[in-house]
Amino acid sequence: MFRLGLARIRALIKVAAESGVAEVEIEEKGVRILVRQQAQPVVLQTPYMPVVPPPVTHAGGPTPPGYMPQIVPTQANAQPAPKAETPQEGSVPQGTVVRAPIVGTFFRRSAPDAAPYVEVGSMVAVGDTLCIIEAMKNMNEIDSEVAGTIKEILVQDAEAVSYDQPLFVIT
Amino acid sequence: MSTLAAEIQALLTTQQFGRALRTYTEVDSTNAQALAWAEAGAAQGSVVLAEYQHRGRGRLGRRWEAAPGLNLLFSIVLRPRLELSHLGLITLSASVAVVDALQQTDAALPVAVKWPNDIMLAGRKCCGMLLESSLGTGDATVVVLGIGLNVNQRIFPPALEPHATSMLLEMGRPVPRAPLMARMLASLERRLATMHQRPAGICSDYMRHMQSLGLTVHVKGPPPVTGTALGVATTGALRLRTPAGERLIHAGDLELAIAPA
């Protein structure tokens, strides 16, 4: 059975990061590896690797932020997709982690006297505004890409946020 | 179509900017109207112009005060081809474009830019901008650039009076708005195109007009930071030299901390 070496995946991520291309894809022995530049977390789906939700805190390390490997079985070896494994107890929260797509200042409301866009427990639909990140007087509304319930708000109002910093957990 | 809109369109020299133009006597906010129009498919350069905004927006929900019929209040739909990290270049490019248009009107105007995008005449604000965009839905980025330029306003509310000015007050004569708007749209179209091709050129032109370059400034934050303004990065961030090293500032109100030596 062909196995995906971590070193190969790291090398591919490095190529993608350095070249600045949006996507790099290779296919070998029935396994397709797709590295796509994107800010949102990606769920790994493969029979060969455990499914690990993205960590809440950005650990840094050699992987450039925004480059997450997406591994998809091709038809040749396609098997029924395994269910996402439950993370180990006490590790990271379940759900989708919404990360900062840009550097700036995080605001939970459109004006100081306005109600927050969301609270813990709020139900959100795809496209609902979660917060604003201001950079250079550009007020960027950050919209939800998933439907669900706000489980955690990880940043204080009016706090500076860095690129890829986790902002919300939605379940 | 209003008389002002017809005059502007007759004077346009642009390819796209202002070719689609909606005008209102009174509107809640031109940015809100432009965002809605963008969602409905408005093209790059589509403009919403109003004689009066009853919910004009400034940063953090602050109101933008402008008397009706005297100024230029408008928003432009932009569809930039920029990395999200470089959206701040729009802020810099728009600032330089407004400076161009003011200097074309009167080369003697004492124009300066206060980071990130307040346009100052003789140390008082005559033009403010607010950009709004929506990120995260996976669609191509749309940014609405809202500009409020004080053209022929003589009197300001008491709270603003010490800090605000207009072209009329600085030039001593009224300024015809339609030719000015046509110049603004031409310079915005040109500078926002340059932004994609030569971002470093936008930065250097911006820094030539930067009010606080080389001076000690205080950014109210959060968190508050004091340092020497070194210029701007191609992301639009303010480069600040602080005792702890160089810092990049992405948001916050700027004030001059100490007068130049």
Q: What percent of chain B has pLDDT over 70?
A: 91
> Is residue A114 over pLDDT 70?
yes
Q: How many CA atoms lie within 13 A of B62 on its CB side?
A: 13
Q: Which of A11-20, A104-113, A130-139 has the lowest mean pLDDT?
A: A11-20
- For position B54, what pLDDT does the model report? 75
- The beta-carbon neighbor of A135 closest among B60, B223, B251 is B251
In chain A, residues with a C-beta closer than 8 Å to the C-beta of B136 are 98, 101, 130, 141-145
- For position A29, what pLDDT does the model report? 54
Residue A104 lies in a domain: yes
Put simply, whether B116 touches A (Cβ < 8 Å) is yes
Residue-wise pLDDT tens digits, B120-136 = 999 999 999 999 998 75
In this structure, what token pair is assigned to residue B253? 């109100």
**Whole-structure pTM value:** 0.75
Give a three-class secondary structure readout of A39-93. CCCCCCCCCCCCCCCCCCCCCCCCCCCCEEEEEEECHHHCCCCCCCCCCCCCCCC
> Is residue B261 over pLDDT 50?
no
- Rounded to a whole number of angstroms, the distance from the CA of A31 to the nearest CA of chain B is 27
**Helix/strand/coil for B217:** strand
Q: What angle do CA B230, B116, B252 make, to 5 degrees?
A: 90
**A160/B84 touch (CB, cutoff 8 Å), yes or no:** no
The identity of residue B238, as a single letter, is: L
Residue A10 lies in a domain: yes
Mean pLDDT to the nearest integer, A157-170: 94
pLDDT-derived band at A90, boundaries 50, 70, 90: very low
Query: Which residue is it, tokens 């530049």?
Result: A37
- Rounded to a whole number of angstroms, the distance from the CA of B88 to the nearest CA of chain A is 6
Residue A1 lies in a domain: no
Put simply, whether B15 touches A (Cβ < 8 Å) is no
Put simply, whether B36 touches A (Cβ < 8 Å) is no
Residue A160 lies in a domain: yes
Residue-wise pLDDT tens digits, B85-106 = 889 999 999 999 999 999 999 9
pLDDT-derived band at A70, boundaries 50, 70, 90: very low
Running DSSP on this structure, what letter comes out for residue B53? B
> Is residue A153 over pLDDT 90?
yes
Put simply, whether B73 touches A (Cβ < 8 Å) is no
CATH of the domain at A142: 2.40.50.100
Q: Cite the DSSP H helix spans in B56-166.
A: 88-105
pLDDT-derived band at B65, boundaries 50, 70, 90: low
In chain B, residues with a C-beta closer than 8 Å to the C-beta of A103 are 85, 235, 237, 250
Mean pLDDT to the nearest integer, A47-68: 34
pLDDT-derived band at A8, boundaries 50, 70, 90: low
Put simply, whether B129 touches A (Cβ < 8 Å) is yes
* All domains of chain B in start order, with CATH: 3-208 (3.30.930.10), 215-260 (2.30.30.100)
Residue A77 lies in a domain: no
> Is residue A146 over pLDDT 70?
yes
In this structure, what token pair is assigned to residue B62? 């602050």
Mean pLDDT to the nearest integer, A119-145: 93
> Is residue A149 over pLDDT 90?
yes
- The beta-carbon neighbor of A127 closest among B85, B133, B137 is B137
Put simply, whether B91 touches A (Cβ < 8 Å) is yes
Of the candidates B205, B200, B173, the residue with the CA atom closest to the CA atom of residue B187: B205
Of the candidates B31, B256, B39, B238, the residue with the CA atom closest to the CA atom of residue B140: B39
CA A58 to chain centre: 11
- For position B57, what pLDDT does the model report? 63
Substitution target from A98, A103, A138, A142 for chain B, most B beta carbons within 10 A: A138
The identity of residue B241, as a single letter, is: R
Q: How many CB pairs under 8 A join A and B?
A: 102
- Rounded to a whole number of angstroms, the distance from the CA of B3 to the nearest CA of chain A is 32
In angstroms, how far apart are the furthest CA atoms of chain A?
60
Cis peptide before B222 (omega within 30 of 0): yes
Domain span including residue A24: 6-36
Q: What percent of chain A has pLDDT over 70?
A: 46
Residue A126 lies in a domain: yes
- For position A55, what pLDDT does the model report? 36
- The beta-carbon neighbor of A163 closest among B85, B131, B252 is B85
pLDDT-derived band at B156, boundaries 50, 70, 90: confident
- For position B63, what pLDDT does the model report? 61
Put simply, whether A73 touches B (Cβ < 8 Å) is no
- The beta-carbon neighbor of A143 closest among B59, B136, B143 is B136
> Is residue B79 over pLDDT 70?
yes
Count of structural domains within chain A: 2
Of all residues in chain B, the one with the smallest CA distance to A164 is: B85
- For position B259, what pLDDT does the model report? 46
> Is residue B18 over pLDDT 90?
yes
Q: Is B93 left (phi over 0), alpha (psi -120 to 50) or beta?
A: alpha
Query: Which residue is it, tokens 């606080």?
Result: B212
If residue B35 lies in a helix (H) or strand (E), which one and from where to where? helix B30-39
Q: Which of residues 214-243 of B touch A (CB under 8 A)?
A: 222-223, 235-237
> Is residue B4 over pLDDT 70?
yes
What Cα–Cα distance (Å) separates residue A101 from each residue in A44, A132, A165, B87?
20, 11, 8, 11
> Is residue B167 over pLDDT 90?
yes
- The beta-carbon neighbor of B137 closest among A39, A136, A143 is A143
Residue A67 lies in a domain: no
- The beta-carbon neighbor of B84 closest among A102, A112, A144 is A102
d(CA A161, CA A156): 10
Residue with more model confidence, B193 or A58 = B193
- The beta-carbon neighbor of B130 closest among A98, A139, A163 is A139
Mean pLDDT to the nearest integer, B28-34: 92
d(CA A165, CA A154): 9
Residue A85 lies in a domain: no
Q: Is A117 left (phi over 0), alpha (psi -120 to 50) or beta?
A: alpha
In chain A, residues with a C-beta closer than 8 Å to the C-beta of B91 are 136-138
CA B60 to chain centre: 16
pLDDT-derived band at A83, boundaries 50, 70, 90: very low
Task: Give the strands of the sheet with A96-99, arranged side by side.
Answer: A96-99, A166-170, A148-153, A123-124
